[in-house]
A = this chain, B = another copy of it.
Amino acid sequence: MNGVEEIRDILGKEDYTKLKSVIHKYHPVDIAEFFEELSPKESLNLFKILDFEDAIQVLEEVDSDKKYFILTNIEANYASKLLAEMSSDDVADFLGDLKEEEKKQILSLMEESAKLDLKDLLAYDKNTAGGRMTTEYIAFSKDLKAKDVLNKLAELAPDAETIYYLYVVDSEGRLAGVISLRDLILAPEQTPIEDFMKTDVKKVNVMSHQEEVARLIKKYGLLALPVVDDNDVLLGIVTVDDAMMVVEEETTEDILKFSGSDVDEKIDLKQISPWIRAKRRLPWILVAIIGEIFSGRVINGFSATLQTIVALSFFIPVIMDMGGNVGTQSAAIVVRGLATGEIDTASIIKNVLREAAVGIILGIINGILVTAITYFWQGKVLLGLVVGIAMAFNLTLAAALGTFIPLLWHKFGHDPAVASGPFVTTLLDIIGLFVYFSTATWILNL
């Protein structure tokens, strides 16, 4: 019997004493996972026996539908307390997911002070530093001493997202420095924090994209990154665990876009109907259809050639597929390189030339190979040459275009992953077939 089955079993028997002792073994993150599998009624009964601290954490973890269901089905007073203690970024994300009616209902449960905090957070786009930050940070003014700060911590800690970085602000709320809890407890009690705070604070503007937030946290190995407005006023922080979520989300987005799925495609196959999933994947497929009809028209344009030598058609697959393969490899390297910052768009031409060099090498090797294969299969030297030359030319072009298109797309401020998968492949098919049949017409004098 696995965890959730055991809990369902005890819930069925309404043995709440046993349930309390069993649930105590689990981490709130694991308990939140149980909620995914439990029915609404079971979830509610389980939620009611949780400690207040666990309840907050579980609530932060479960998805918005379940959050809404629980909060609107428990005592209003308790819901209000829970909402006040939840991380402000989690509550903001939750409200962002709700319909207008539902949102009003949840807001009506909240205390006025909690609502005020939220109002600002809700104004930021979900994918920005502002949309990701929490307002539960700790900041001090710089004239305090190490001892005073340590003493105040006890009181501030329960509400803070992290106490490992303590920020220092001036009288206008502008970020002046940061002290780590590590430095604080090592500092002599009477030292003013100004003396040991770091003033070169890594920070991010509230409107920055979440990718930039994650990049800085990763690059400098931070536990949290302060978010400031244009005047350097401290507004919130993003913690490293949220940065890891951002990395995961952005990666999923890149891989799915790269494969030509819509951005909103969810991984979890269970939760979405095949109709919606098909609809989301349709756009790029339709683009590809149009593109490949053009490929067909290229062949159509050479149908006289093809009618004379039917064997030319046998090599359409290898010409098409190889161009697509090499182009996709190049595009994948560029998309990933841009994501990790190892490639920049400053030198598009340099990058394209470097990649084209790889394409030439691959083209020559494979050109010779398919010439030989064609000769042994069909016994015709000239046909072999046609396939080989077209292949060499195509792979060079594929490497160059597979690099150029995502870089160009990125330079114009778009997501390079979108332009990479199906678009590059389809374009290379059209060009590749044209090169192939032109080479045939030229060499075979047709």
Residues of A within 8 A of B (CB): 25, 27, 29, 150, 153-154, 157, 163-164, 181-182, 185-186, 200, 202, 217-223, 240-241, 243-245, 247-248, 251-252, 254-256, 258-261, 265, 267-270, 274-275, 277-278, 281-282, 284-286, 288-289, 291-293, 295-297, 299-300, 303, 306-307, 310-311, 313-318, 320-322, 324-326, 328-329, 331-333, 335-337, 340, 342-343, 351, 354-355, 357-358, 360-362, 365-366, 369-370, 373, 377, 421-422, 425-426, 429, 433
Contact check, A421 vs B261: say whether CB atoms are below 8 A apart: no
Determine the residue in chain B with the shortest Cβ distance to A26: B200
Contact (A317, B429) CB under 8 Å given A164-B164, A247-B247: yes
Contact check, B200 vs A217: say whether CB atoms are below 8 A apart: no
Contact check, A426 vs B340: say whether CB atoms are below 8 A apart: no
Known pairs A259-B328, A274-B358; list 17 more (Cβ under 8 Å). Answer: A29-B221, A181-B182, A218-B248, A244-B247, A247-B251, A252-B336, A255-B255, A259-B329, A267-B340, A268-B342, A269-B337, A285-B325, A288-B321, A303-B314, A321-B429, A325-B425, A328-B421
Could you pull out 13 A-B pairs where Cβ atoms are within 8 angstroms?
A153-B186, A256-B336, A260-B329, A274-B361, A285-B325, A291-B321, A292-B322, A296-B314, A297-B314, A299-B317, A307-B310, A313-B313, A321-B429
Contact (A289, B362) CB under 8 Å given A243-B244, A267-B333: no
A30 to chain B, nearest CB (A): 9
Q: How far is B329's CA from A322's CA once the two chains are assembled, in angstroms?
A: 19
Q: How far is B244's CA from A218's CA once the two chains are assembled, in angstroms?
A: 6
A275 to chain B, nearest CB (A): 6
Q: How far is B421's CA from A282's CA once the two chains are assembled, in angstroms?
A: 20
CB contact between A261 and one of B261, B297, B329 (< 8 Å): that residue: B329
A2 to chain B, nearest CB (A): 11
A298 to chain B, nearest CB (A): 8
Contact check, A221 vs B241: say whether CB atoms are below 8 A apart: yes
CB contact between A318 and one of B247, B268, B292, B365 (< 8 Å): that residue: B292
Chain B residue numbers with a CB within 8 Å of A324 are 321, 324, 425
Chain B residue numbers with a CB within 8 Å of A361 are 274-275, 278
Q: How far is B99's CA from A117's CA once the two chains are assembled, in angstroms?
A: 57
Contact check, A422 vs B296: say whether CB atoms are below 8 A apart: no
Contact check, B267 vs A336: say whether CB atoms are below 8 A apart: yes
Determine the residue in chain B with the shortest Cβ distance to A417: B255
Q: Shortest 6 CB-CB distances between A and B: which pairs? A: A259-B332, A295-B317, A221-B241, A292-B318, A296-B314, A278-B361
Q: How far is B241's CA from A63's CA once the two chains are assembled, in angstroms?
A: 27
Chain B residue numbers with a CB within 8 Å of A186 are 153-154, 157
Q: How far is B321's CA from A284's CA once the two chains are assembled, in angstroms?
A: 12
Contact check, A373 vs B293: say whether CB atoms are below 8 A apart: yes
Chain B residue numbers with a CB within 8 Å of A310 are 303, 306-307
Contact check, B267 vs A342: say whether CB atoms are below 8 A apart: yes
CB contact between A325 and one of B245, B284, B365 (< 8 Å): that residue: B284
Contact check, A200 vs B25: say whether CB atoms are below 8 A apart: yes
Contact (A218, B241) CB under 8 Å given A282-B365, A292-B318, A426-B321: yes
Chain B residue numbers with a CB within 8 Å of A329 are 256, 259-261, 281
Contact check, A29 vs B318: say whether CB atoms are below 8 A apart: no
Chain B residue numbers with a CB within 8 Å of A251 are 247, 251, 336
Q: How far is B349's CA from A116's CA once the two chains are assembled, in angstroms?
A: 50
Contact (A317, B337) CB under 8 Å given A267-B343, A310-B306: no
Determine the residue in chain B with the shortest Cβ distance to A298: B317
Determine the residue in chain B with the shortest Cβ distance to A265: B333
Q: How far is B268's CA from A285's CA once the two chains are assembled, in angstroms?
A: 32
Determine the residue in chain B with the shortest Cβ distance to A303: B310
Determine the residue in chain B with the shortest Cβ distance to A251: B251
CB contact between A362 and one of B258, B281, B291 (< 8 Å): that residue: B281
CB contact between A317 and one of B284, B285, B286, B292 (< 8 Å): that residue: B292
Determine the residue in chain B with the shortest Cβ distance to A432: B317
Chain B residue numbers with a CB within 8 Å of A333 are 256, 259, 261, 265, 267, 269
A420 to chain B, nearest CB (A): 9
Chain B residue numbers with a CB within 8 Å of A293 are 318, 373, 377
Chain B residue numbers with a CB within 8 Å of A245 are 218
